Amino acid sequence: MAESLLFIFLTFLIILSVNVNCFKLQQVLILSRHSLRAPLTANLKNTSPHKWPKWNYEHGHLTDKGALLESYMGEYFIEWLNQQRLLSLECPTADDLFVYANTKQRTRESANAFVRGAFKSCNISAYSINSEKMDPVFNPIIRDTTEETKRKIIAEMENKLSELHLDEAYTYLSEILDLKNSDICKSELFCDFLQAKNEIVYVIGQEPHIVGPLATSNNVMDAFIMSYYEGMANEDVAWGKINKAEQWTLLSEIIRENQNVRFNSSTLGRNVAKPLLKYIKGVFNQIPPRKVTVLFGHDSNLNSVMAALGLKHYELPNHYEATPPGGKIVFQKWYDEKKNRHLLKISYVYQTIDQIRNASHLSTNNPPFWVDLELSNCSGDKDGFCPWKKFQKILTTIN
């Protein structure tokens, strides 16, 4: 509780310091992961002899609670944007606001929920292309067909696989599942996460994939953590066998490393995020500039964009995941009136574990957490700002 109050206080100190220093917010681009969803993998029965809890949603679909959480985010952000005098409480025009989502149900419905929360009395809709296929802007697939790029990406992924330190997490997860008595052990001899080998799947036009213990354990942990976020009873979350923060921290390393191996390296990130980065660059170069753009994608989008831009390592207090559901990278363009210059600030804004599980209502009096992010090639000053021109140069270089 004390830590939460401290972060709320620090958040408002940041806002206050910006206002006192005569900095004016001119433009915001928010890149968001969808909110809380059902597990991606429906077929986990073969990994454990225990009975899995039933979900009343199709796998991968946004839950009602996820929609509620995202509407709270929308309410918070319109309040914050109004405080910063970037958007008023009046209904914004298309020149002021654009909300754009990938085609997956969980991204579309997250965008719709955000709009409902932010603009209750306005006739505003989130945009998504009319297709059942992934929107090319958001699709995190390998595009470059050259052998040189393939060699670099596979080397990056192999290096990250060689640096995995998941033995303790794998051992504990095997015990929770009773993996040695599972169908996957009996039929496929997959009885021990420590003994199985990871293999890289590299196919042009597809996402970079891993087959083996990392992928299987990630699917299991995805189901466990989404059950916890959803607010299921403790006995229905990993059969009551994860009940301490230390256990969640240990096991959640599996989720972090799965994304780290598959999307969080420079060559790979630049390749799979190229269309999205091009779109972001276009938004910032648009004349006249649109005030607010909100993009709804996936953790793969956030991780690949951060890797391509060269964002430094960060930690999210009061969370187990590096890219939690509903979490947002907030790119902010500020104008320093005293020095006549434009500045960049990048923040990660997210709901804490308790805010998600308890479905806490958000406002500027009860905000989500803010963590400043820093670019390797554009170090922030004491207030977290780096020169806008340097950021533009980075965007030009990676495109």
DSSP 368: P
Rg (CA), the chain: 21
Q: Give the Cα separation of 80 and 117 in Å (integer).
A: 13
Name 201's bridge partners. Answer: 209
| Annotation marks residue 381 as catalytic | no
| Annotation marks residue 34 as catalytic | yes
Q: Give the Cα separation of 286 and 278 in Å (integer).
A: 12
For 67, residues 6+ apart whose C-beta sits below 8 A from its C-beta are: 35, 109, 110, 112, 113
Nearest to 181 by CA among 305, 367, 82, 49: 49
Token pair listed for 309: 């831009």
Q: Give the Cα separation of 82 and 333 in Å (integer).
A: 16
Nearest to 276 by CA among 262, 290, 295, 260: 295
Name 341's bridge partners. Answer: 336
CA distances from 102 to 98, 137, 239 (A): 13, 8, 34
**Contact between residue 371 and residue 316 where contact means Cβ atoms under 8 Å apart:** yes
Q: Give the Cα separation of 73 and 330 in Å (integer).
A: 13
**Which of 34, 222, 298, 319 is labelled catalytic?**
34
**Which of 236, 299, 342, 383 is labelled catalytic?**
299
Residues designated as active site: 34, 299
